[in-house]
Structure 1
Amino acid sequence: MEEKEHKRNEICSRTLKTGSRTYFFDARETRAGDYYLTITESKKNFSETGEITYKKHKIYLYKEDFSKFQNILDDMIRFIINEKGREVISERHQRDFKNNTFNQEIKDNNKKTSETKDYTNINFEDI
């Protein structure tokens, strides 16, 4: 019965998929017949055993807060774009961040090793 009620109060839905995160925007109906918005962030996680789980966070936004919420959201987006531009500069948002980090560590270690190879090995028996 709960599933039917869930379907009944869902009026309009949109989905935004971004890497390991999915955002759901749902217009829903209250018992009184008014509408409100839920924004759900769902993030895919992998356990140590490889099992896939989803961590969800949900925001309920009611019409009386729409204007203030939108103003602050617009202000914060403008601030971030003005301060840092539109280019994403955090590698952590890349899908293969861990692989790139590991590969960079290997390159750095190889570079250090090759730098030390430039020195002559001296054997104390030669002196």
Structure 2
Amino acid sequence: MSEFKERHENEIFTKVLKAGRRTYFFDVRETKAGDYYLTITESKKNFGENGEATFEKHKIYLYKEDFKSFQELFNESTDFIIQQKGEDVISERHDKDYKTRSSYTIESDDEV
């Protein structure tokens, strides 16, 4: 069986989060023993000097016995970041077309 076919046959559930140049894949997969585990894959699009696109991928495997501890530490870490730095994304300020939140116009369905 090809690696591609085997990799996709054990996928049970998939969710995708597109975030700029990064895409996150949350895949529930099945072990040979019939149990489930989670893989989280970050795929980042890069462009070489010749303009050709490549994808850099990083993968985390999470098994049920680690879910609770992982979730606790994830929540603790993200809460710490928000408490310390707020919810504004500072790195966006370095984009050449950055606009503050107050400079955005919000349109409601009634105005359109």
**Structure-1 residue corresponding to 2:84:** 83
1:91, distance to aligned residue in structure 2 (A):
3.1
CA deviation after TM superposition for structure 1 residue 90, in Å: 1.4
Q: CA deviation at 1:62?
A: 0.5
SS of the aligned residue for 1:41 comes to: strand
Corresponding letter in the other structure for 1:37: L
- Structure 2: give runs of 5+ residues left out of the alignment: 98-112
More strand by share: 2
Corresponding residue for residue 30 of structure 1: 31
What is the rounded CA distance, in whole Å, between the counterparts of 1:91 and 1:25 in structure 2?
25
* CA RMSD across the alignment: 1.6
- Higher CA-based Rg: 1
Q: Aligned residues: percent identity?
A: 62
**Structure 1 residue 89: Cα displacement:** 1.1
The TM-score, its normalising length taken from structure 2, stands at 0.80
TM-score of the pair, normalised by structure 1 = 0.71
Runs of 4+ more than 4 Å apart: none
How many residues get paired? 96
Flag the structure with higher helix content: 1
* Aligned twin of 1:51: 52
- Post-superposition Cα deviations, 1:78-122, rounded to whole Å, max 9, x if no partner, equal 100111111111137x6xx3xx29xxxxxxxxxxxxxxxxxxxxx
Letter in 2 for 1:46: F
**Equivalences for residues 1-127 of structure 1 within 5 A:** 1-2=1-2, 3-91=4-92, 97=95, 100=96
How big is each residue's C-alpha offset from its partner over 1:45-77, in whole Å with a ceiling of 9 and x where there is no partner? 000000000000000011110000000000001
